[in-house]
């Protein structure tokens, strides 16, 4: 059984021949005329050159025939398109991984091919353990990419639970002393007796009352009580300011910064990876989820074998070639791809309508 693992598309100019070696098994589903016609009255033909199978190709160790691929190509005429009559054709063509194929356009008009990479060894039993990368990547689901923004431990907000627990413990100790055995009360009384007061202080304490109506503690004046209340209020206000500042710092650091390129592509870095940045010509292994603006998922690769492509070689849509450049292994991005960098006016029916903006949540697994 096969399963789609990534979208694919390419635009071919009239009168040219292009060679391609798919990095994975590729299924072509649609052939259509381009947006701009060089000659509206001319018929344009799409031809496909495929490897010509022979008995000797069954032997994987036969390296003498590797340089004769040009002589073993078979050319097939797939379809002919004419503006106003037949402008597109639905096909089912599978190109095998790492085999040489040739796309030939006979005529002046541009031809657009669309399809998707497939996995023909797909196992129907679900893998409930999450991602299972060869590089022993951590289990990760791109559907929750926005929750993966990490904060350093020293910047996490520290509440004052420790002080609150100490206060409870103190209350419990006082409760045990005041409500416990007679010995506890005697001990408390002996502590008070250890601090004798002068006659003037005793007389003053008898008359002194706190503002809340309770008796003043020995040796405590109303001025000292007010002073402690004022200090408590200042400490509380200072703590509130500190907590608010920490909250603002956290909010600023967790906001994703989006940048827009001149082409209209928008990029958000949800998580910065490690190691060198992805460059043109390198093989990139990716996880991704493709969505329409209404949230509908039209394609995804979140487990099993990662999607692999060569960056900048036209093996994926232009939005990917531009948006993946510069990412680091382990990095995560959100790409908002305009229709001009995706599937254009025609789209890729039935999953992707014409002129559709595409949103991809991507994670770079490795760069080679």
User: Same domain, yes or no, for 140 and 280?
Assistant: yes
Listed range (96-105, 234-243, 246-255) with the worst mean pLDDT: 246-255
pLDDT at 190: 47
- In the listed set 197, 232, 255, which residue is the last one of a domain according to the structure? 255
Is residue 205, in this structure, part of any structural domain at all? Answer: no
Mean pLDDT of 324-332: 94
For residue 42 the two structure tokens come to 């001319």
User: Same domain, yes or no, for 24 and 89?
Assistant: yes
Mean pLDDT of 233-257: 68
pLDDT at 129: 47
User: Same domain, yes or no, for 9 and 48?
Assistant: yes
The residue among 10, 94, 5, 112 whose CA lies nearest residue 316 is 10
Per the model's pLDDT, the better-predicted residue between 83 and 156 turns out to be 83
Cα(25)–Cα(357) distance, rounded to whole angstroms?
26
Is residue 95, in this structure, part of any structural domain at all? Answer: yes
Listed range (107-116, 139-148, 265-274) with the worst mean pLDDT: 139-148
pLDDT grade for 327, boundaries at 50, 70 and 90: very high
Instruction: Map tokens 């390296």 to a residue.
Output: 63
In percent, how much of the chain has pLDDT > 70? 63
User: Same domain, yes or no, for 6 and 82?
Assistant: yes
Cα(284)–Cα(278) distance, rounded to whole angstroms?
8
Q: Taking each helix axis from N to C terminus, what angle separates 161-179 and 182-193, rounded to the nearest 10 degrees?
A: 100
Mean pLDDT of 324-337: 95
- Mark whether 360 is an active-site residue: yes
pLDDT at 11: 92
Please check whether residue 5 is in contact with residue 301, taking contact to mean a CB–CB distance below 8 angstroms: yes
Is residue 180, in this structure, part of any structural domain at all? Answer: no
- C-alpha to C-alpha distances, 320 to 155, 251, 337, nearest whole angstrom: 34, 30, 8
- Mark whether 317 is an active-site residue: yes
Q: What is the CATH number of the domain that holds 115?
A: 2.60.120.340
pLDDT at 181: 43
User: Same domain, yes or no, for 145 and 267?
Assistant: yes
Per the structure, the count of domains in the chain is 3
- Mark whether 62 is an active-site residue: no
**What pTM value is reported for the model?**
0.35
pLDDT at 119: 86
Please check whether residue 356 is in contact with residue 339, taking contact to mean a CB–CB distance below 8 angstroms: yes
- The one catalytic residue in 133, 307, 343, 352 is 343
Cα(355)–Cα(292) distance, rounded to whole angstroms?
11
For residue 259 the two structure tokens come to 């940048």
Over 70: is that where the pLDDT of 338 sits? yes
Distance from the Cα of residue 321 to its chain's centroid = 17
Is residue 30, in this structure, part of any structural domain at all? Answer: yes
Q: Which domain holds residue 139?
A: 131-149+257-368
Q: What is the CATH number of the domain that holds 356?
A: 3.10.50.40
- The one catalytic residue in 299, 307, 321, 327 is 299
Is residue 239, in this structure, part of any structural domain at all? Answer: yes
- Mark whether 343 is an active-site residue: yes
- The one catalytic residue in 288, 307, 321, 352 is 288
Mean pLDDT of the chain: 76
- The one catalytic residue in 5, 267, 317, 352 is 317
User: Same domain, yes or no, for 248 and 269?
Assistant: no
Over 70: is that where the pLDDT of 69 sits? no
- The one catalytic residue in 3, 93, 298, 359 is 298
User: Same domain, yes or no, for 355 and 243?
Assistant: no
């Amino acid at each position: 059984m096969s399963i789609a693992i990534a979208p694919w598309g390419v635009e071919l100019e009239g009168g040219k021949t292009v060679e391609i070696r798919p990095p994975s098994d590729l299924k072509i589903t649609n052939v259509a005329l381009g947006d701009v016609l060089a000659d509206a009255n001319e018929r344009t033909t799409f031809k496909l050159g495929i490897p010509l199978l022979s008995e000797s190709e069954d032997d994987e160790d036969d390296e003498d025939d590797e340089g004769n691929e040009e002589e073993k190509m078979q050319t097939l005429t797939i379809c002919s398109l004419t503006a106003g009559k037949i402008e597109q054709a639905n096909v089912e063509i599978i190109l095998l991984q790492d085999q040489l194929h040739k796309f030939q356009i006979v005529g002046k008009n541009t031809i657009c091919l669309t399809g998707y990479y497939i996995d023909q060894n797909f196992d129907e039993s679900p893998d409930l353990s999450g991602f299972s990368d060869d590089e022993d990547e951590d289990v990760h689901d791109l559907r929750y990419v926005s929750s993966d923004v990490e904060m350093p431990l020293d910047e996490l907000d520290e509440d004052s639970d420790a002080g609150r627990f100490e206060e409870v413990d103190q209350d419990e100790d006082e409760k045990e002393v005041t409500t416990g055995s007679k010995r506890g009360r005697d001990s408390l009384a002996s502590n008070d007796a250890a601090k004798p007061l002068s006659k003037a202080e005793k007389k003053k304490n008898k008359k002194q009352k706190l503002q809340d109506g309770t008796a003043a503690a020995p040796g405590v004046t109303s001025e000292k009580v007010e002073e402690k209340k004022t200090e408590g209020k200042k400490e509380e206000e200072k703590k509130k300011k500190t907590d608010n500042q920490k909250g603002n710092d956290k909010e600023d650091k967790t906001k994703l910064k989006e940048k827009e390129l001149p082409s209209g592509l928008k990029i958000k870095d949800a998580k910065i990876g490690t190691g060198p940045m992805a460059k043109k010509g390198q093989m990139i292994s990716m996880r991704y989820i493709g969505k329409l603006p209404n949230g509908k998922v039209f394609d995804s690769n979140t487990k099993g074998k990662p999607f692999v492509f060569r960056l900048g070689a036209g093996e994926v849509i232009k939005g990917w070639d531009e948006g993946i450049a510069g990412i680091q292994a382990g990095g995560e991005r959100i790409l908002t791809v305009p229709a001009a960098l995706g599937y254009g006016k025609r789209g890729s029916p039935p999953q992707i309508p014409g002129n559709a903006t595409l949103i991809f949540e991507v994670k770079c697994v490795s760069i080679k």
